[in-house]
Amino acid sequence: MSSPDLDATGVTGEALVVILGAGRLGLHLSVHLRRAGVARLHLWNRSALEGQRLEMALAAVAGTGRPALSIGALPVTAIQTAAVVLVTVADGAVVAVSRRIAREAGPVHCPVLHCSGAFPGSIMAPLAAMGTPVGSLHPLRSFASDTLVENLGGTWFALEGDRPAVAAGRKLVERLGGKPMIIESSAKVAYHAAAVMASNLVVALVSVAIGVLEQGLRPPEAPGTGLEMILSLVEGTVANLKSAGLPGALTGPVSRGDSDTVARHLEALEPCASPDLAAMHATPADVYRVLSLHALALAREQGLPAEVCETVRNALAERATLTGQP
C-alpha cells in the first residue's frame, strides 16, 4: 500500500499526519499543526489521557470528521495511509515503538520521524530495514508544563535523516512557521548536549546562584525573592545577547580583566554549601572557575590584552591550587 505523497498533497490538503505519543511535545505539535491548517491528523497514546492533556488532545483532533484519537492499540490503518508519522514518545521508548510499527503496520512507505533530541533517526532500525525513510525532527525549545505554548513561530527545528524524511519534516516546520536546520546525523548527540547546556543547565546555574545569594539575604525574605532578583539579571543578559551578540554581550570582572575581584569571588564561593556539588568534591567556586575560563576567551575576543588575560587566568588557577582542585 502506498502512502499519499506529501509533496503532491501538501500538509494542509488530504495528507494525513499521524502523531504517536501524547506527551507535552506531541500535544503541542498536534494542536499547532491543526491551527496551521493541517486538516487530517491522528493522535495516539499508549495509555489513557486525563485533565489538561485530554483537553489538548481533543482540541487537536476536533473537527476532523473521523475518529482521530486512539488509545492503546496502534492505529494501523492511519499509519499505513499517512503522509508522515511523528514519533513523540520518550527517548527510551522510540526503538520499541518503531519495532511495534514495523511489526503491526509494516511495510510503512511514508517518512517516519522521531522527535528525540539525543538520537538520530537511524535508531529506528526496524523501520529502516524495511525501506521506510527515517529521520528526526527536534524543536529547539523547552516545554515546561502542559499549558499550551501560544506560538511555535520562529522556533528552530533540527532535522536529520533520510532525504524524504528531512523533506517531509521541513514542510511541517515551515507550516508551523518554524525555522528548519539540517544537521549531520553524527552530530546529533553534540547538538543535544549544546541545547541542554543552553536551556536545562541554565536553570541549574540559576539555582546555584540563588543558593549563594540567599546565604547573604537577611530574613525574613518572601519566598521566591532570590529567583526574582536573579531573573531580572538573566533577562537583561538575554537582551544583551540579542542586541550585542557574542562576544559583545559579555560584561563583568572577567570582561574588564579585574583579577582582584575574580580572586575575591572565588574566596567567597569556596565555603558556600551545596550538598550535590560536595558529593563531587566541588563547590560553587568550581562552577564559577570553569565558566570564567570560557568567559576569558570571549574577553580576549573583545580586545582584552593578552597580559591582562593571563593575570585573570592565574587568579583562577591560584584558587584551584589552594583548594586542591584540578
Residue 196 grid cell = 541542554
Contacts for 62 with CB less than 8 Å, ≥ 6 apart: 34
Domain ranges of the chain: 6-186, 197-323
CB 193 within 8 A of CB 31: no
- pLDDT means per 10 residues in the chain (326 residues)? 45 78 94 91 94 89 80 95 96 96 96 96 97 97 81 95 97 96 96 95 93 76 81 96 97 97 93 77 89 97 97 85 48
Residue 297 grid cell = 576567551
**pLDDT at res. 278:** 76
pTM: 0.86
In the sheet where 40-45 sits, what is the strand order? 69-71, 40-45, 16-20, 84-87, 112-114, 134-139, 156-161, 179-182
**pLDDT at res. 63:** 78
d(CA 79, CA 101): 8
List pLDDT tens digits, range 253-281: 999 999 999 999 999 998 886 777 777 77
**pLDDT at res. 64:** 67
Question: What's the alpha-carbon Rg for the chain, to the nearest Å?
Answer: 24
d(CA 309, CA 255): 9
Residue 264 grid cell = 575575591
**pLDDT at res. 12:** 43
**Up-side HSE of residue 19: CA atoms within 13 Å toward CB?**
29
**pLDDT at res. 276:** 77
d(CA 134, CA 308): 52
Contacts for 295 with CB less than 8 Å, ≥ 6 apart: 250, 252, 254, 255
CB 89 within 8 A of CB 115: no
6-186 maps to which CATH number? 3.40.50.720
Contacts for 105 with CB less than 8 Å, ≥ 6 apart: 74, 76, 79, 80
The pairing of beta strand 69-71 with beta strand 84-87: unpaired
**pLDDT at res. 39:** 87
List pLDDT tens digits, range 277-301: 777 778 889 999 999 999 999 999 9
